[in-house]
Structure 1
């Protein structure tokens, strides 16, 4: 947005700036590089992969290069004469950007184990959670009236409603971006409402996700040399998955839908008798938060960490 010709940041532009990440992740171990490559999904993916492999093979110090399309990485075996910065430039020139928005989202939300937490948006989300907790503490002792908790709860309703969250994902170009954006906005809103419980819960979930990403990275660094012993082990074609119809709702989705409908009906019935704030509070009290929290936490807590990895 511009005001008198001067760019002025808006809440959405600030959120998008926090959610953007460097789309060129590189991981290295002695004698090998894993460089993020774009455009290897979709109908043109095979041609892009061949072009990237050919250009890299021509560079000094490169022993071989193979594109692993499912992980959006090109694996390059190098000697002491190879320059990482030069190889990254070669990949940038040889690759093509994704053809469609769906392919761009798929590549953006695909995380290689070696990326760890750097390939995610956990750190900016945790930073906003911390800011929300500080803001909540300030509002609890401040003389001014905090934001009504019901207003902050409306963001939770958006996060729980599948259609509203899908619409937000389309607007922000990705489901992970939408998840991080709602968490950031809820942290600030709950901070203004002097409520810290939801923000503390979200921060705990993000810490668990960070631990999981770190465990994946440690496990990958330990077994990479055993999994990839040569070019025959590195290459892989794109994995194309097409469903004949949308994935049906499971028990958790059906329960969440019933809870949302029941809460909305209860709030509508209570509105004439209890007033808008109490009616909104009644409706928001029925939000199925346990479904999302349980689904996000159980895979991490049920696995046992062994030798730096996650074992389910």
Structure 2
């Protein structure tokens, strides 16, 4: 392959391992030859040569939610393109597996590093007590004294949602949060309160949800009369969809009487009626940042500082200015 590309074997190795400081034309020529030859790295040979398994272990809190699943898929895709394999184990899916048992399972596979996705505060507390011995990265919204961290900017995402509603004229907004043991849910809840307070939005107690559309549907169906608040910010799209459904069944029009904003931009968000205004998380960019940081740690290179991936607000038809509400 090196001969066909007209470069040295070392240059091919550096391209395969995504080293910097390689001329773009050289990198492109090597990648074209790799594609033409349908080359696949020999993982066993590489492991023998480097004393590394080229395998990342992933502990994911749940494989049910869109966010955790999307993060895991993005990391798997990015790792595969870089010659790494991924082994994952889910916590909290009904098998009563402890963090220690999950870690033991992964370390027997010879992982070079560990990534923790969508963690709860309880699982992070448990990990702090373990002797892990390899680089650990946690996908969480705040820096951590014990672990590497990277995330989509949860605080920015929540602020974008509040700013959008305020720009439409809403001054009475409630928040339906995720379970507050989840670090992402707590970050969104805190950011909602901070931004709402900054805008002078009426302060109301949050509604603590469980991430599911069923919970939000039941909450909306339980509303007796048209409430004083004119908008709802849901901590994920599943709950936002449940809210829209429940409000419709209760006889309240979205967005004419109540606006709804979600978080995640699930595939169905643009197809529900009305199409959902939501905050998009760039999971592909998240996967790239996770792998870049872990590879730097594995290869004893300078580790990038914590990266926060920008969130993006997508405005659709579930939000509008408050109408006929005395506002």
TM-score clears 0.5: no
> Which protein has the bigger helix share?
1
TM-score of the aligned structures, taking structure 2 as reference length: 0.27
TM-score of the aligned structures, taking structure 1 as reference length: 0.28
> Which protein has the bigger strand share?
2
